[in-house]
Structure 1
Amino acid sequence: MGKFPEENKPGYAVYSRRTLALYDALVLGFSNRFIWRCPSRHLIGHHVANLSARHLDIGVGTGFFLDKARFPAKSPQITLLDPNRECLESASERISRYKPKSVHADAMVPLPGALGHFDSIGLNYLLHCLPGSMARKSVVFDHLKPHLSEGGTVFGSTILQVANPRPLLASKLMSIYNARGVFANADDTLEALRAELSARFAEVSIEMIGCVALFTARFAKT
């Protein structure tokens, strides 16, 4: 998978061809609706509202949302970036009609200088898989800012620890995932996410649906 920091691997090494084949049904279907209480239609709508014709997707999963969402152009320029080659191949195959470019890289380290600039950058279900505190994992925003066009949009979603009572299954599953290193969001809160985004962008919007934060950020601060 490339020589990336070892501490980052538990959050993405779990995704093999076998697990990706089950991902849409188990995570985006069952878990989103019944455990995280944020049906995937909300995430699709979030994509539709923020995708541009020149888009970078970081942490690509199976390519589900790029496949289901509508782009504002018939032939968008899409770049997929992920440290997991299986995810890159799966997502690239799924949206092959758009002829996406794939980049094998870890967003926790500075991104390749030749990556280019984008009008939208998506980070869907990425942050809760990254190691460390919200302050530490938010370095990804610092790494993507040089590749964001002026006035461009950063958007995504992440599963947070919420103040209001969570369903028992959500608490148990989150604990299991954190123990196994698949998640690293034991201390991720809405306040922490808002603080990190606001430190880097002039315009920040966050909507909570169940345990999921749907965020949008624009106008990067220098």
Structure 2
Amino acid sequence: MDIGAGTGLFPMNHRDRMRQSGQEWPLHLTLVDMNTLCLQKAADRIGCPSKTTCVQADVFEPFTVPVAQRTLTTSPKFDSISLIYLLHCLPPPCHRKATVFAHLKNHLTPEGTLFGATVLGSGAHHNLLGRLTIRFYNWKGIFGNKDDSPDVFVKALENEFEEVETHIVGVVLLFRARKPRLA
């Protein structure tokens, strides 16, 4: 499952690497986004319509993958969920964004992995250009990460998953969480 499908860049690149190494795209991919235009653009770019399901949903609310949209190869649970460069685009506050992890863990298998990356606001050492860019993007409403703190995201992940690994690279928080905790 890919949350915040955007243009489908990351799944398309993965598909291309698999093809270049002689492997078939064996997966079924479920794209989740609030914007139907993004879903369509991403699905078209990935170019595997028989193995791609699109779900329009708000990640701030629990959602389901409708049975009518599942193919025979789709399980109601996923081995992995990507959340790449979405959190910093969601509206603040940071603690509200962190509730997304609780909703997404319900879509994972018991050994499933949630992984992603987000551009931090507070708690990151932006250079002058970075500070100006963050300020401008927040003012324009493109980003909502002015006060996003790694501590809030890490604590929320640890509350929802048994295994959590995080790294800050520059101004980006990378995270991987495994084994969702039972509610």
User: What letter matches 2:133 in structure 1?
Assistant: L
Mapped contact 1:162–1:211 kept (Cα < 8 A): no
The answer to whether structure 1 residue 78 and structure 2 residue 29 are counterparts is yes
Mapped contact 1:206–1:216 kept (Cα < 8 A): yes
Secondary structure of the corresponding residue to residue 199 of structure 1: helix
Secondary structure of the corresponding residue to residue 2 of structure 2: strand
The answer to whether structure 1 residue 100 and structure 2 residue 52 are counterparts is yes
- 1:195 matched to which residue of 2? 155
Mapped contact 2:8–2:41 kept (Cα < 8 A): yes
Structure 1 alignment gaps of length 5 or more: 1-55
The answer to whether structure 1 residue 123 and structure 2 residue 83 are counterparts is yes
- 1:68 matched to which residue of 2? 13
- Output aligned runs, 1:1-222, within 5 Å: 56-69=1-14, 70=17, 74-97=25-48, 99-112=51-64, 114=66, 116-161=76-121, 163=123, 165-222=125-182
1:169 Cα shift?
1.2
Mapped contact 1:133–1:188 kept (Cα < 8 A): yes
Q: Give the Cα separation in 1 of the matches to 2:152 and 2:5.
A: 24
Change in CA separation of 1:164 and 1:114 when aligned onto 2, cut-off 3 Å: closer
Change in CA separation of 1:61 and 1:199 when aligned onto 2, cut-off 3 Å: same
Q: Give the Cα separation in 1 of the matches to 2:12 and 2:118.
A: 19
- 2:70 matched to which residue of 1? none
Secondary structure of the corresponding residue to residue 142 of structure 2: coil
Q: Give the Cα separation in 2 of the matches to 1:161 and 1:194.
A: 15
User: What letter matches 2:61 in structure 1?
Assistant: V
Q: As a proportion of its length, which structure holds more helix?
A: 1
Secondary structure of the corresponding residue to residue 26 of structure 2: coil
Mapped contact 1:134–1:196 kept (Cα < 8 A): no
User: What letter matches 1:132 in structure 2?
Assistant: P
Change in CA separation of 1:149 and 1:96 when aligned onto 2, cut-off 3 Å: same
1:85 Cα shift?
1.3
Identical aligned pairs, as a percentage?
41
Structure 2 alignment gaps of length 5 or more: 68-75
Change in CA separation of 1:135 and 1:164 when aligned onto 2, cut-off 3 Å: closer
Secondary structure of the corresponding residue to residue 206 of structure 1: strand
Change in CA separation of 1:221 and 1:105 when aligned onto 2, cut-off 3 Å: same
Q: Give the Cα separation in 1 of the matches to 2:84 and 2:27.
A: 19
User: What letter matches 2:10 in structure 1?
Assistant: F
Change in CA separation of 1:139 and 1:73 when aligned onto 2, cut-off 3 Å: farther
Could you state the TM-score of these two structures normalised by the residue count of structure 2? 0.84
User: What letter matches 1:196 in structure 2?
Assistant: A
Q: Give the Cα separation in 2 of the matches to 1:167 and 1:73.
A: 42
Q: Give the Cα separation in 1 of the matches to 2:124 and 2:145.
A: 16
